[in-house]
């Protein structure tokens, strides 16, 4: 699952895991567990580039694990090596949410203000669209999003 920070990827992935009983990983959580630090603290202490390297390592460790649900950070698709690794897992699903519906969150270093969200969206959306095998509009609950993903036959 790819999309903007705050689009609902982690919640939709958890719903998919519960509904399908498939394994699931959240790359943000993988980085936090590996470092023992929150993402906002990694950004503050080491910078975005360091975080992106850790994120790429996490994604690379999942490459080729078919049948796994993977929730990625909002910037993961910006690196071609991440997209290549994710494509080895299967289909890439873009969770699309209107930027006006994404609430600023102080725990998200690049999405803590409405202005940052709009700027990121305009820069990243074309990359998301190009990478996605399918796009699911997020407008309801995580379960509704998961069911729409399943309806579109993304999980055999």
Q: What is the pLDDT of residue 24?
A: 97
Residue 31 inside a domain? The answer is: yes
Cα dist from 115 to 30, 100, 103, 152, whole Å = 28, 10, 11, 33
The answer as to whether 131 is a domain residue is yes
Whether residue 154 is contained in a domain is answered as no
CATH assignment of the domain containing 74: 3.40.50.300
In a domain, residue 4? The reply is no
32-79 pLDDT, tens digit per residue, is 999 999 998 999 999 999 999 999 999 999 987 888 999 999 999 999
Closest CA to 63 of 41, 42, 46, 86: 86
Across the range 19-33, mean pLDDT stands at 96
Q: So what's the pLDDT on residue 85?
A: 92
Residue 120 resides in a domain = yes
Range of the domain at 101: 9-145
For 97-153, how does the pLDDT look when each residue is reduced to its tens digit (9 = 90+)? 887 776 655 566 556 677 777 888 889 899 999 999 999 999 889 999 999 999 887
Domain total of the chain: 1
Q: Is 3 inside a domain boundary?
A: no
Domain for residue 150, yes or no?
Answer: no
Give the model's pLDDT for residue 46: 96
Answer whether 135's CB lies under 8 Å from 94's CB: yes
pTM of the model: 0.88
Residue 1 lies in a domain: no
């Amino acid at each position: 699952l790819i999309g903007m920070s705050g689009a609902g990827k982690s919640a939709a992935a958890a719903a998919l895991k519960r509904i399908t009983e498939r394994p699931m990983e959240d790359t943000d959580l993988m980085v936090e567990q590996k470092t023992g630090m929150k993402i906002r603290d990694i950004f503050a202490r080491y910078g975005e580039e360091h975080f992106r390297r850790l994120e790429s390592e996490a994604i690379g460790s999942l490459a080729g694990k078919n049948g796994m649900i993977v929730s990625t950070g909002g910037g993961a698709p910006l690196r071609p090596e991440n997209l290549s690794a994710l494509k080895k897992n299967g289909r890439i699903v873009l969770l699309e949410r209107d930027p006006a519906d994404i609430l600023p969150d102080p725990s998200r270093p690049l999405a803590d203000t409405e202005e940052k969200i709009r700027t990121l969206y305009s820069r990243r959306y074309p990359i998301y669209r190009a990478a996605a095998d399918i796009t699911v509009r997020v407008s309801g609950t995580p379960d509704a999003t998961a069911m729409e993903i399943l309806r579109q036959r993304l999980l055999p």
